[in-house]
C-alpha cells in the first residue's frame, strides 16, 4: 500500500462502495421481457437496475475521460465482435490463436488484454467464445443490482408521432402513429460495489484506474442523457477503504452505517424527502470512509 496517495485511490486496499442515484420521470432500466417496463421486484414493488446496465454506463464514459490513452480501450462495445477483440489479444501477446492455448500462453493473452482494455482490467471478461480461447479473467470490481429505497410505480404514457413509418400508410391517408413510453415518477436507488485488491493486483489495476472509476461514477449520468431515462443524477458516493488487501470488517456491517429513510408518509418525489444518516465516528480500526458526493 502507498501512503502518498489518498486511501480511496490505493489499488492495494480493499474498497466497499455505496452509491445512491435517482430518477425523475424516466425509465432507469427497461426490462425487454416486459415490454421495456421499468424493472421491478414484483413482491415489494421496489425498482431495480441491473449491474449490466450500470457497467454499460461506465464503459460509455471511459472513452470520454481518456480518448487517446491506449490503456483505456473498451472490450465490450457496440459494433465490435468479441471474438475479434480476443484475436487482437492473441496477436498483441504474440500467441498463435488456438482453442488449446497453454497456461503460459493464456497468461500472456490475459496480460495484454488487461493492459489494453479498462473493462477487462476492472470487470474481468470471458475470453473463450471463438476459435481463439484464453479462458477468462476474474475482475476485481463487482456491482450488485441497484434497488430503490421506496416502491416505485411504473406508468405507461401514450404518445403520438405526426408521420408514419411506411410510405404505404401515408398513401392510405394515415397521418399519425401511436406509441408508448414507460416511466416512474421518482425513484431513489441504492447500489453496492466491491473492489478486491488481491484481484486488482492480478489484473494490474492502478490508482489512475480507481480515480477514473470514481470520475465515471460521478459523471456517467450527465453523459448518458436520454428522453426515455428522464433526469438521472448521482446523489451519493461513499467508499469504505481498508488498510490492507483483505479487509478489516465485513462489507455488510460497513454498509449498515449508511441509512436512507423516508422523512414522512408522503410519496417521495425528491432526494429531500429522505434522510441520510452516516455513522462514521467509530469506524473499525484500519477503515477510512471517503464521501465523494
Residues 39-67 pLDDT 10s: 999 999 999 999 999 999 999 999 999 99
Q: Kindly give, in sequence order, each residue whose CB lies less than 8 Å from that of residue 247, ignoring residues fewer than 6 positions away.
A: 14, 16
**Cell digits of residue 206:** 492502478
Secondary structure of 68-101 in HEC code, one letter for each residue: CCHHHECCCCCCCCHHHHHHHHHHHHCCCCCCCC
User: For residue 17, which of 226, 191, 139, 273 has the smallest C-alpha distance?
Assistant: 191
25 dihedral zone (left: phi>0; alpha: psi -120 to 50; beta): left
> What separation in angstroms does the CA of 6 have from each of 100, 148, 211, 283?
43, 31, 10, 17
Q: Give the model confidence (pLDDT) of 65-102 as tens digits.
A: 999 999 999 999 999 999 999 999 999 999 999 999 99
Sign of CA dihedral 41, 46, 51, 56: positive
pLDDT digits (tens, 9 = 90+) for 225-273: 888 899 999 999 999 999 999 999 999 999 999 999 999 888 999 999 9
Single pTM value for the model? 0.92
- 77 and 96 in contact (C-beta within 8 Å)? no
pLDDT > 60? residue 1: no
Q: Coil, strand, or helix at residue 12? A: coil
DSSP characters for 239-278? EEEESSSS-SS-HHHHHTTEEEEESSSSPP-SGGGEEEEE
Amino acid at each position: 500500500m502507498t501512503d502518498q496517495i489518498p486511501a480511496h485511490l490505493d489499488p492495494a486496499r480493499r474498497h466497499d462502495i455505496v452509491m445512491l442515484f435517482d430518477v425523475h420521470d424516466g425509465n432507469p432500466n427497461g426490462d425487454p421481457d416486459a415490454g421495456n417496463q421499468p424493472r421491478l421486484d414484483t413482491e415489494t414493488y421496489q425498482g431495480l437496475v441491473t449491474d449490466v446496465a450500470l457497467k454499460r454506463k461506465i464503459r460509455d464514459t471511459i472513452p470520454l475521460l481518456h480518448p487517446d490513452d491506449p490503456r483505456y480501450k473498451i472490450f465490450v462495445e457496440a459494433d465490435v465482435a468479441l471474438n475479434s477483440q480476443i484475436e487482437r489479444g492473441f496477436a498483441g501477446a504474440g500467441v498463435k490463436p488456438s482453442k488449446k492455448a497453454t497456461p503460459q500462453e493464456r497468461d500472456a493473452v490475459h496480460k495484454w488484454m488487461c493492459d489494453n482494455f479498462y473493462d477487462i482490467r476492472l470487470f474481468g471478461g470471458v475470453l473463450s467464445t471463438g476459435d481463439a480461447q484464453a479462458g477468462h479473467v476474474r475482475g476485481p470490481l463487482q456491482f450488485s443490482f441497484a434497488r430503490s429505497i421506496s416502491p416505485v410505480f411504473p406508468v405507461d404514457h401514450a404518445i403520438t408521432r405526426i408521420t408514419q413509418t411506411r410510405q404505404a400508410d401515408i398513401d392510405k391517408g394515415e397521418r399519425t402513429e401511436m406509441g408508448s413510453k414507460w416511466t416512474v415518477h421518482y425513484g431513489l436507488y441504492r447500489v453496492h460495489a466491491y473492489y478486491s485488491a488481491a484481484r486488482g493486483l492480478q489484473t494490474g489495476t492502478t490508482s489512475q484506474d480507481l480515480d477514473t472509476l470514481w470520475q465515471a461514477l460521478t459523471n456517467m449520468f450527465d453523459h448518458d442523457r436520454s428522453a426515455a431515462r428522464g433526469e438521472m443524477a448521482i446523489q451519493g458516493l461513499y467508499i469504505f477503504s481498508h488498510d490492507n488487501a483483505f479487509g478489516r470488517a465485513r462489507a455488510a456491517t460497513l454498509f449498515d452505517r449508511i441509512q436512507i429513510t423516508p422523512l414522512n408518509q408522503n410519496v417521495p418525489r425528491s432526494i429531500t424527502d429522505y434522510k441520510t444518516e452516516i455513522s462514521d465516528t467509530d469506524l473499525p480500526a484500519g477503515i477510512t470512509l471517503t464521501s465523494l458526493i
